[in-house]
Amino acid sequence: IAYLVSAGVDPDRVMAITFTNKAAEEMRRRVERMVGERVFVSTFHSFCARLLRREIHHMDRETTFSIYDRSDSQSAVRRVVKDLNLEPKVYSPSDMLSRISQLKNDLVDPDEWREEAVGIKDQKLADIYEGYQEVLHENNALDFDDLLSEAVRLFRENPAVLRSYQERCEHLLVDEYQDTNLPQHLIARALQGKHKNITAVGDPDQMIYSWRGARLENILEFENDFPDCTIIKLERNYRSTSNILRAASVCIRNNLRRQDKALWTDREEGQPVQIRELENSYREGDFVG
């Protein structure tokens, strides 16, 4: 970001996306210290909330919508389960909400899921999902997953709105790209549909959030989405000893879906890697500490 600004890029046309508010604030402070300019640094959810506050009226929704947190959403699902006379021990509101979240991360709506559903429980999930969306709509509310999926829909259905944001976003930088889900990837791809100035930092070997919708294909197929991109491998490790790097590389090279890299360090060999079996996590913490 500092390089772009020093090269004459307007700071107002640079957007940086990371995954936590804490990381975004730290990045914002660093940029201000380096270049003396305030750059738009945000999380995906914050960006989409801001986008929808301004533009959701294009989809016949009110810009005064509220945002449901996990507790609000779970209460809404519990109400739907009760209204459908379903047994909450079988259709746990927490479990149903998690499955609905997965479907939203895959951009699957209730009708699409109903067509795919196999078995009674999946069919009932479609009913619960549909009822949950009706509750959200009645209360002029979105949940966290809706912030992303509605932003995707906004860009797809309103080309003029998309073009205006493409104009503003001359450069897009995304951190931890291996942790992006499908909607986040589509939002990034849409924003850079014109300038194609996107910098994505990530490591397929560190993708550990598939349980919350992270999609490894986003980074592995990045070159297909942006054919003229340049891949820069950051292979020097400043933290670990040579023995640790060798042990990690021997393990991770067995993964079938990854981009090969050769990590190296100029640090000492260090202690040999040990394999220890311990009674519990407390013992493990004591041993590592």
Rounded to whole angstroms, the Cα distance separating 52 from 155 reads 11
In the chain, pLDDT over 90 holds for what percent of residues? Answer: 79
Confidence of residue 140 (pLDDT cuts 50, 70, 90): very high
Q: How many CB atoms lie within 10 A of CB 247?
A: 15
In this prediction, residue 99 carries a pLDDT of 96
Contact 128, 99 (CB under 8 A): no
Cβ atoms of 149 and 133 within 8 Å: the answer is no
pLDDT, residue 259, reads 83
Residue listed under structure tokens 């041993």: 287
**CA proximity to 15, closest of 50, 46, 49, 39:** 39
| Residue 121 dihedral angles phi and psi, to the nearest 5° | -65, -40
| Average pLDDT score over the chain | 93
- Under DSSP, is residue 131 helix (H, G, I), strand (E, B) or coil? helix
The whole-angstrom separation of Cα 284 and Cα 289 is: 8
pLDDT at 35: 87
Q: Is the CB of residue 100 less than 8 Å from the CB of residue 77?
A: yes
Provide mean pLDDT across the span 109-124: 95
Integer Cα distance of 285 and 51 in angstroms: 43
pLDDT at position 207 is 83
Query: Does the pLDDT at position 212 exceed 80?
Result: no
Q: Does residue 195 sit in helix, strand or coil?
A: coil
Three-class secondary structure of residue 16 per DSSP: strand
Q: Is the pTM of this model over 0.75?
A: yes
Q: What is the pLDDT of residue 247?
A: 93
Question: Tokens 């067995």 label which residue?
Answer: 254
Q: What band does 151 get if pLDDT is binned at 50, 70 and 90?
A: very high
Find the range with the poorest average confidence among 67-76, 180-189, 269-278: 269-278
User: What are residue 143's DSSP bridge partners?
Assistant: 68
**pLDDT of amino acid 210:** 80
SS3 at position 141: strand
The two tokens of residue 287 are 């041993």
3-state secondary structure 23-73: HHHHHHHHHHHHHCCCCEEEEHHHHHHHHHHHHHHHHCCCCCCEEECHHHH
Question: 40 in the Ramachandran plot: left (φ > 0), alpha (ψ -120 to 50) or beta?
Answer: beta
